[in-house]
Amino acid sequence: MTLRVAVPNKGRLSEEAIDLLKKAGLGIEETADRKLYAAVKNMDFEVMFLRAKDIVRFVHSGVVDVGFTGLDLVMEAALDVDKVLDLDFGHCRLVLAAPESSGISSVEQVPNGSVIATSFPNMAWQYFARKDKMVEITQISGAAEVAPHIGVADMIVDLVSSGSTLRTNRMREVETIARSQAVMITTADARKNKGVEIEELVTAVQSVVFARCKKYLMADVPVNVLEEAKGLLPGIEGPTVMDIIDRDDMVAVHSVVDKDRVYDTVAALKRLGAKGILIMPIDRIVP
Ligand code: AMP
């Protein structure tokens, strides 16, 4: 059965989502203008390029079986779709922010009757309701950070990643309302009809997401420090140890290492007298 998959056609999540699918093994035949549909070479997939915001609705209504989009958009839409995978890119936060000049640094200080500009009206409503604040929400479709400067709002609820846009606009983050990243979504109906196909795609994509935070490390290690070296190299099932031809004082050790631990591990291996250390990217890890 053909699996219909939606990815963002433009914007921040588009390139990485497409790259993820390609690395997962889908031979997406993209045209330069990224038309609505792309065929997938020799596979029973149909890829549709849609706006990130629309993908939640199209998954929900069954137009596509699986979608890649931002969790923030899923939460805002409040439709009955299931998140099947965190994709570990597109990290951002939905925050309440106020002009620095307002002196507001906590939500308790927000006066009732304040006007809040946002493109996330549902999440903003729920947030202020939880905080027992009576505010007026004004919906805008983007560039919320300018709203207080042009006098159409007192504060904003908007997405930030580094926070530099807020700082440039002399706005201060008051509180984080929600955290987001790119996610893969589907529905119970799609699972009922195409459960096997969806599970296969989840496994393939997960293997790429998992591999992205790992590196493959190879090193020649003196035999007399092998036990210490093993302690540094967890691997998936522990490190692989191999003989080196014509050497009885050194062995070759291969291991999978967390990206964040590569620096420290290499330094520690060097201290043990390891030589010829190679660090390589991994395309996929299927446990
Ligand atoms: P687009 O509007 O198509 O560029 O996509 C916006 C999506 O990218 C949002 O819904 C978020 O999921 C994600 N995103 C990640 N970082 C940010 C950010 N700093 N600002 C806005 N959106 C972000």
Question: What strand order describes the sheet that includes 240-244?
Answer: 240-244, 247-258, 214-222, 275-281
Residues of the chain below pLDDT 70: 31-34, 235-236
Going from the Cα of 219 to the center of ligand 1, the distance in angstroms, rounded, reads: 40
- Find where tokens 């490190």 sit: 239
Q: What is the pLDDT of residue 143?
A: 85
CA distance 230 to 223: 11
- H or E segment at 127? helix 121-130
Q: What is the pLDDT of residue 33?
A: 65
Q: Which atom of ligand 1 is nearest to the CA of 161?
A: 19
Q: Where are the domains of the chain?
A: 3-89+181-211, 92-180, 214-280
Domain range 92-180, its CATH number among 3.10.180.10, 3.90.79.10, 3.40.50.620, 3.40.190.10: 3.40.190.10
CATH 3.40.50.1370 fits 214-280, yes or no: no
The answer to whether the beta carbons of residues 89 and 182 sit under 8 Å apart is: yes
The answer to whether the beta carbons of residues 172 and 100 sit under 8 Å apart is: yes
- The binding-site residues of ligand 1, defined as CB within 6 angstroms of any ligand atom, are 8, 11-13, 52, 70, 72-73, 90, 92, 159-161, 180
Domains 3-89+181-211 and 92-180 share a fold: yes
CATH architecture of 3-89+181-211: 3-Layer(aba) Sandwich (3.40)
* pTM for the model: 0.90
Q: What is the pLDDT of residue 38?
A: 79
